Every structure is written in C-alpha cells, then in structure tokens.
C-alpha cells in the first residue's frame, strides 16, 4: 500500500502470518524485524526492553531458548500499533478476548487485512496534498476530532468491560 500526502510518500505493508519468520528470532532481531515494517507509520520504535516488559506482564509468552516465534511476533506487531491508542491494560484485555474466540493466525490475519484496508480508505479520502490555508486547518481539526471521538469511545468501552468484570468477580466471591 502506498501512503501519499503532499509531504511524503511511503510504502506500507504488514507481513502475512505465514511470512513472519517461523524460526525463532532473538530479542534484538524481533525488534529490528518489527520496526522495519512500522517505520513508514512514524511510530515510536519497539525496543527490546519494551518486548521484555510485555513478556514479564504476561501479555506475550516467554521466549523459548531466548527466541521468539511467529505467534509472539504477530502479537508484538499488534501491540506496537495498538499502543498508540490503547493502554497496556486495554491491549491485554483485547488479547484475552481474542484468545477466547479464535487462534492467533486468524486474529492476526483479520487485523492485518482490516488495518491496511482502513489505512487505505483514510488516505484515499483525504486530499491534504491539495488543501492549503483554511481548508487545511479545517481538515486537520476535523481529523483530530474524529480521532479523539474514537479514542473516547474505546476508553468508555474498555472501562465498561472492566466494570462488568469487576462486578462478576464480586458476585462470585
């Protein structure tokens, strides 16, 4: 997929699940592998210490003989993108929901396909390269408001899920 504005053009694609290395990668190799895909998005790098933290918190499985497999790398790609809008607690909740409904390969395939589709739709519908002055300001302001509204929706939804979970835990005590 090509992302283009007046300011820059970048190629972006996420690997298919089958394209993620099936042989184990060491921590720094995983970090480098994922960051090479995410660079076009301009997101912060995924560091080795971040990955280790996700393992310590139980968000992803421990590496086997210090090597990370396809499933862990798929989760890390999701985490790296989701952390731009979700807390680690909400990401954990989302992964727990996914694990209770489907396998990692199916979930990652859906995430990859939809994320690319949505990025394409967003960039195709925006004409920033031809907007200047007030039009540009209005378009950017509207996009900020849309983003904020989506973030508020996510926060309220995850807060509601926490309340339901807490209520269920209290009832069973």
Contact partners, residue 58, CB within 8 Å, separation at least 6: 92
**Which residue from 159, 75, 82, 67 is spatially nearest to 115, judged by alpha carbons?**
82
φ/ψ of 153, rounded to 5, equals: -60, -50
Dihedral sign of CA atoms 4, 11, 90, 54 in order:
negative
Question: Does 124 or 86 have the greater pLDDT score?
Answer: 86
Q: What is the pLDDT of residues 134-170, one digit of tens each?
A: 887 888 898 899 999 999 999 999 999 988 888 887 7
Residue pair 43/80 in contact (Cβ under 8 Å)? The answer is yes
Q: How confident is the model at residue 129 (pLDDT cuts 50, 70, 90)?
A: low
Structure confidence at residue 60 as a pLDDT band (50, 70, 90): very high
Q: Over pLDDT 90: what percentage of the chain? A: 65
Given a contact cutoff of 8 angstroms between Cβ atoms, the answer to whether 34 and 27 are in contact is no
Confidence (pTM): 0.86
Q: How far is CA 19 from CA 1, 40, 109, 132, 141, in A?
A: 17, 19, 11, 41, 38
Q: What is the pLDDT of residues 15-49, one digit of tens each?
A: 999 999 989 999 999 999 999 999 888 877 899 99
pLDDT-derived band at 4 (thresholds 50, 70, 90) equals low
Residue 73: its pLDDT value, please?
98
| Cβ neighbours, 10 Å, residue 24 | 17
- The three-point CA angle 144-121-12 to 5° equals 95
pLDDT tier for residue 76 given thresholds of 50, 70 and 90: very high
């Amino acid at each position: 997929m090509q992302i283009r504005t007046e300011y820059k053009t970048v190629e972006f694609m996420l690997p298919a699940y089958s394209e993620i290395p099936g042989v184990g990668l060491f921590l720094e190799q995983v970090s480098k592998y994922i960051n090479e895909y995410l660079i076009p998005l301009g997101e912060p790098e995924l560091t080795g210490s971040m990955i280790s933290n996700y393992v310590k918190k139980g968000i992803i499985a421990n590496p086997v003989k210090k090597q990370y497999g396809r499933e862990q790398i798929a989760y890390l790609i999701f985490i790296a993108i989701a952390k731009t809008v979700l807390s680690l607690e909400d990401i954990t909740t989302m992964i727990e929901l996914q694990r209770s409904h489907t396998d990692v390969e199916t979930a990652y395939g859906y995430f990859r396909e939809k994320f690319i589709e949505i990025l394409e739709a967003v960039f195709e519908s925006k004409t920033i390269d031809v907007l200047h002055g007030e039009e540009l300001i209005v378009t950017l302001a509207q996009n900020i408001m849309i983003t904020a509204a989506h973030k508020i929706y996510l926060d309220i939804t995850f807060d509601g899920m926490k309340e339901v979970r807490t209520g269920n835990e209290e009832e069973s005590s």
